[in-house]
Structure 1
Amino acid sequence: MQIIESSTIYDVIIVGSGAGGGMATKILADAGLKIAVVEAGPFFDPADPEHQTQLKWPYESPRRGANTVRPFGDFDSAYGGWDIEGEPYTNGDGSNFRWFRSRMLGGRTNHWGRISLRFGPKDFKRKDQDGLGDNWPIGYEDVKPYYDKVDKLIGVFGTNEGLPNDPDGFFLPPPKPRLHELFYIKGARKSNIPVIPSRMSMLTKRINNERGICFYCGQCSRACSVYADFSAGTCLIFPAQKSGGQIDLFVNAMVREVTTNNEGKATGVSYINKEDRKEYKLKGKIVVLAASACSSARILLNSKSEQHPNGLGNSSDIVGKYLHDSTGGSRSAFIPDLMNRQMYNEDGVGGMHVYTPWWLDNKKLDFARGYHIEVWGGMGMPGYGFGFNHNDFNKYFGLKVGGYGNPLRDEIKKYYGSTVGFGGRGESIPQKNNRCEIDPTTVDEFGIPVLKFNYQWTEHEIKQVGHMHDTFEELIHNMGGEVLGGKPSRAEKNGIYAPGEIIHEVGTTRMGDDPKTSVVNQHQQLHDVNNVFIVDAGPFVSQADKNPTWTILALSWRTSDYIIEQLKMQNI
């Protein structure tokens, strides 16, 4: 097979354009380095009418917005999903890991919930509290200056609350709670459950002339055409290009491996062009992997050579191991007091205006770590299947709802906005045996060996989700509501989501000081090869009960500064 080699030698090749890759692109390009960004999906700009789904009506979709093509609905901006034609993955016996991929410039930052939480001091040193897992080789104080920078560069709304393990930041004004959230606040107070304004990366006031202000359409999952919410393309890569950065974008480019020389040092990457199906090689002095925790592990494991027979950076045999995702449990309810409600303006951001951070002491509980509570409800844009499930209403309350024509419209008006829901997102315990590895029998349509997953929840995660459901039922009772659906049984593992379904996978290239038990050092540099770095969530030693994106961004900035420093010192 003919391989086409580029004659250009880049200072840095960055694989992946999501949170970690986007931040590395901006910082390194702003420092004057010549950058190649290699992305497995197409170019994407939500301001381009060709890509825009924001502010479209359900009738503009042949599926009325239903999720039969895209997992989160027809207007969701993610190009991809848990299952992508021609790009399979497999599971071992008893494993049901689900791997979500967004193949597009900006990756999963185009449609994420934009919940932007810092890890706290305890989150970096969990072993010190419960003896489980491992501590990070760095602490909160190492990352705090970069959290501060990310807050100021990107923008995040919220309030300073003085909570020790939910650190304060530099916040924009938060939006006010809507009616269903006021009900939630009132119900939570009855059980001494704290509720604070959300911390989300949408601009509620202007921070520069390049981005607009949120106009409360509530459609952030569609990617913002005025760049008011954070996406890596619109907020990091595009500004770096406009400021004169030397950036070459290679889209629809599926990376096969990191190439190396006879000394075992990285020389660039090899990729398959999805359009002409030919293989190309790029040359670079430094390679930065930011393809996502599992994709970066796959690239390393497929990068075998005489010098790296077990895969690049895998002398420890740790690449792919300690994979873990957030726990998840959810419940919904019917609130009679919200029936026949008055219509008024309750638009807002695409997500919750308030949330509950972890509030309990695990020493008094039978599981480790904690979770936060997300709440949804209100009068969002109706779409196919919205509002209420008439089967649930009939089954649990004996209410005859539904119908056709005018009776159906009357029922919708009566119940519109009367349902609320809760989602718990918690911290799992990293397990060495929870892993992804190369499946020796399966390749994708480009001929690249695919990943095989092995993953099992432990009793800690299952009990934690059981606690979520107990809490949700208590909150619903306090709100004067009725639970929709039965409580999942212990035999059903308390209704815990399948691993991967929360889309917070981390830990496959873990950080550590000992090369025998970790893949990268505290600067996210491979122990085995000093000119390869990983800036996605793979280096995470543990997840925390927070969404990982803000920490990915902060650590990527920290690593980028280290790369610049090391280049100046001629160490790499």
Structure 2
Amino acid sequence: MSNFEAEVLVVGSGAGGAMAAYELTKAGRKVLLLEAGRDYDPKAETPMFKRNGEAPLMGAGNSDKDFGFYDATVDGGWQVPDEPYTSAENSEFLWWRARMLGGRTNHWGRYSLRFSEHDFKGKSRDGLGADWPFEYNDIAPWYDKTEALVGVCGTNTGLDDMPPSPEGVLQPPPLPRIPELFVAAAAKKLGIPTAPMHRAVLTRPLDSRAACFYATPCGHGCSIGAAFQTTTSLIPMAKATGNLQVLTNAMVKSVDVDDKGNVVGLSYIDKKTATEHKLTAKVVILAASACESARLLLNSKSAKHPNGLANSSGQVGKNIMDSTGANFGAMVPALQGRPIYNEDGHTANHLFIPWWGHQAQAKKELKFPRGYHFELGGRFSEPGASIDTSLQGYGKDLKKQVKNKYGAYVHFALRGEMVPNEHCYMDIDPSVKDKWGIPVPRFHWKWSEHELNQVEHGLQTAKAILTEMGATVGELPTPEQAILKGGQIIHEVGTTRMGASPKDSVTNQWGQTWDCPNLFVMDGGVFASNPHKNCTLTIMTLAMRNSAWLAEQLAAGSLMKGAV
């Protein structure tokens, strides 16, 4: 790397960082990508073909492997050794960090739904939160490019919550399973639509990546590249240009400025040697995840930036949003004892329930302002460590009961939009530092009535569908009992939000910080709102769009003229 002079430094190798590196290197720009975690090669390391029966406790999760023994995340989780974070009094927030090359793209659910025209202009409709500084039509062509590059399967549905893709962009979706068809039939009777889930899983070969063969869990990682992760796609594609170098175990400490307050590079800790190093470049891109990027900015104080870098608006660390989450399910008698066959598919749900209530909200018929969707569970899947406490007896009789109920449970996972509120933000803990001497984030969190009312509606809807399917559903939990913790869905965004004015936002529509023209943010921190859909597709789409714009500015020599 001694002869490699980077023009752009990218912090983070997940969805945003890898896409930025890909787009910039393709445009001929020299990029050095820094990753705080270790190197990772899914082609060599993935436990893709391991079965639960080969693992301790039937592969169940534990403190080191929250999502199961074979989860593709190697060294990360809710707690990372030597890298703590704190929560303020009466607050609880969970912060997931991957700490490996490829970041969260190694283990994410790969749900890839476009945000719609409703999602970009929420404040214009209901007066809450903030609008994005562009329209859906401005980003639609970039969604096209991202879906085609990444490889997303699905179909155009005609539903107002699911914008269409051009002909030939989406790969064919897998066929629905029996429980999903049963849910669809029951939901239809209640006037609720279902649709194929759009997922970043190949059903047809693409470049050097093979199509999914429906046999192993995506969460294990994917050595054939069918389940999208940057370690089998964007990063090797960028390396192939000859314009990318990757530096792992590089824990960035701060973004550096000169005496005039201009960004000149960054400082990082080599985690293997515990030594500090400085790098200089024309441009710095933060894509370390919403909260990590905000942490870097808040820790990058100087005489010219006393409240943290790019923070003249005071909005860095504010406006944290996560998706709402609640889980609900029941055993469906009609599904008991059905013939057993392979229902693996591409692991996750083939059908889901998109949001159907835009018109009802426009008419003020609902007690909450933003939508949600249901991800469906229920199929013949690999047995794990869960125990059905309703079973009685032992021996043959017990086995008969287990076999009869196998594949008869249906689950609904609610994922909804949160409206930002003044109680949800992060700052820097005044006394706690990590192993590398870097001050850690302190989280403040509180759900509002908007989210609680949304979850209540979702619980009632799930109960109605399950009842229509013939399930016996007991008393519903309260929304306070059902709603998952802040951060638990791992969709935290908004900490460095974009906007149309430097007074109330951190970046412009290109991810360029208002205060520092050569400093960009290209992760979920720039989101002005957090629609109910998984955020990764939009992170990649924005990173592609904004990196293409950055490459044009560099070519024209006009970058330092200031944010526009």
> TM-score range with shorter-chain normalisation?
over 0.9
Map 1:117-136; keep pairs closer than 5 Å: 117-136=113-132
In the other structure, the counterpart of 1:453 is 443
Map 1:46-195; keep pairs closer than 5 Å: 46-48=42-44, 51-68=45-62, 69-79=64-74, 80-169=76-165, 170-195=169-194
Q: Is the 8 A contact 1:8 1:283 kept in 2?
A: no
CA distance, structure 1, for counterparts of residue 36 and residue 18 of structure 2: 14
CA distance, structure 2, for counterparts of residue 472 and residue 7 of structure 1: 59
Deviation at 1:494, TM superposition (A): 4.8
**SS of equivalent residue, structure 2 residue 7:** strand
CA distance, structure 2, for counterparts of residue 339 and residue 188 of structure 1: 20
Deviation at 1:231, TM superposition (A): 0.7
In the other structure, the counterpart of 1:368 is 369
Q: Is the 8 A contact 1:466 1:494 kept in 2?
A: no
Gaps of 5+ in 1: 394-399
Map 1:169-568; keep pairs closer than 5 Å: 169=165, 170-208=169-207, 210-242=208-240, 244-360=241-357, 361-362=360-361, 363-385=364-386, 389-391=387-389, 393=390, 400-401=391-392, 403=394, 405-483=395-473, 486-489=475-478, 493-568=480-555
Deviation at 1:207, TM superposition (A): 2.5
CA distance, structure 2, for counterparts of residue 368 and residue 160 of structure 1: 26
Gaps of 5+ in 2: 560-564
Q: Is the 8 A contact 2:16 2:539 kept in 1?
A: yes
**SS of equivalent residue, structure 2 residue 282:** strand
Deviation at 1:407, TM superposition (A): 4.2
**SS of equivalent residue, structure 1 residue 47:** helix
CA distance, structure 2, for counterparts of residue 537 and residue 6 of structure 1: 32
TM-score normalized with structure 1 length: 0.94
The residue identity in structure 1 corresponding to 2:477 is P
Deviation at 1:28, TM superposition (A): 0.6
Write the deviation string for residues 526-566 of structure 1: whole angstroms up to 9, x where unpaired. 10000010000001000112111111111101110111111
Write the deviation string for residues 38-93 of structure 1: whole angstroms up to 9, x where unpaired. 00111112111xx2111112233234311013111001111311111211111112
Deviation at 1:233, TM superposition (A): 1.9
Deviation at 1:6, TM superposition (A): 7.6
CA distance, structure 1, for counterparts of residue 268 and residue 51 of structure 2: 39
In the other structure, the counterpart of 1:26 is 22
CA distance, structure 1, for counterparts of residue 172 and residue 393 of structure 2: 40
Q: Is the 8 A contact 2:342 2:380 kept in 1?
A: no
CA distance, structure 1, for counterparts of residue 347 and residue 519 of structure 2: 37
**SS of equivalent residue, structure 2 residue 440:** strand
The residue identity in structure 2 corresponding to 1:70 is K
Write the deviation string for residues 281-325 of structure 1: whole angstroms up to 9, x where unpaired. 222110000000000000000111122111110111110000111
The residue identity in structure 2 corresponding to 1:371 is Y
CA distance, structure 2, for counterparts of residue 507 and residue 384 of structure 1: 37
Q: Is the 8 A contact 1:17 1:291 kept in 2?
A: yes
Moved more, 295-304 or 74-83: 74-83
CA distance, structure 2, for counterparts of residue 342 and residue 8 of structure 1: 60
CA distance, structure 2, for counterparts of residue 364 and residue 64 of structure 1: 46
Q: Is the 8 A contact 1:323 1:432 kept in 2?
A: no
The residue identity in structure 2 corresponding to 1:516 is K
CA distance, structure 2, for counterparts of residue 324 and residue 479 of structure 1: 34
CA distance, structure 2, for counterparts of residue 442 and residue 533 of structure 1: 27
Write the deviation string for residues 196-237 of structure 1: whole angstroms up to 9, x where unpaired. 1111111111222x1000001251111111000111221101
Write the deviation string for residues 423-477 of structure 1: whole angstroms up to 9, x where unpaired. 1111111124410110011001111100000111110100100111001100110
Moved more, 264-273 or 11-20: 264-273
Write the deviation string for residues 494-535 of structure 1: whole angstroms up to 9, x where unpaired. 511111011100100010121121100111101000001000
Distance 1:7 1:310, change over 3 A: farther
**SS of equivalent residue, structure 1 residue 249:** strand
**SS of equivalent residue, structure 1 residue 424:** strand
Deviation at 1:416, TM superposition (A): 1.1
**SS of equivalent residue, structure 1 residue 268:** strand
The residue identity in structure 2 corresponding to 1:155 is G
CA distance, structure 1, for counterparts of residue 424 and residue 341 of structure 2: 48
Q: Is the 8 A contact 2:96 2:487 kept in 1?
A: yes
Deviation at 1:8, TM superposition (A): 5.5
CA distance, structure 2, for counterparts of residue 35 and residue 527 of structure 1: 23
The residue identity in structure 1 corresponding to 2:292 is S
Q: Is the 8 A contact 1:463 1:494 kept in 2?
A: no
CA distance, structure 2, for counterparts of residue 128 and residue 59 of structure 1: 52
Write the deviation string for residues 124-159 of structure 1: whole angstroms up to 9, x where unpaired. 111111111121111111111110000111111111
**SS of equivalent residue, structure 2 residue 261:** coil
CA distance, structure 1, for counterparts of residue 307 and residue 218 of structure 2: 42
Write the deviation string for residues 409-428 of structure 1: whole angstroms up to 9, x where unpaired. 33321221111100111111
TM-score normalized with structure 2 length: 0.95
**SS of equivalent residue, structure 2 residue 326:** strand
Distance 1:218 1:402, change over 3 A: farther
Q: How many residues align?
A: 550
CA distance, structure 1, for counterparts of residue 530 and residue 553 of structure 2: 28
The residue identity in structure 1 corresponding to 2:99 is R
CA distance, structure 2, for counterparts of residue 504 and residue 306 of structure 1: 34
CA distance, structure 2, for counterparts of residue 220 and residue 184 of structure 1: 23
**SS of equivalent residue, structure 2 residue 442:** strand
Distance 1:335 1:115, change over 3 A: same
Deviation at 1:102, TM superposition (A): 0.7
The residue identity in structure 1 corresponding to 2:250 is A
**SS of equivalent residue, structure 2 residue 373:** strand
Q: Is the 8 A contact 1:340 1:415 kept in 2?
A: yes
The residue identity in structure 2 corresponding to 1:352 is N
CA distance, structure 2, for counterparts of residue 37 and residue 215 of structure 1: 32
Deviation at 1:371, TM superposition (A): 0.2
Q: Is the 8 A contact 1:8 1:282 kept in 2?
A: no
Q: State, as a whole percentage, how many aligned pairs show the same letter.
A: 46
Deviation at 1:390, TM superposition (A): 2.6
Deviation at 1:280, TM superposition (A): 1.6
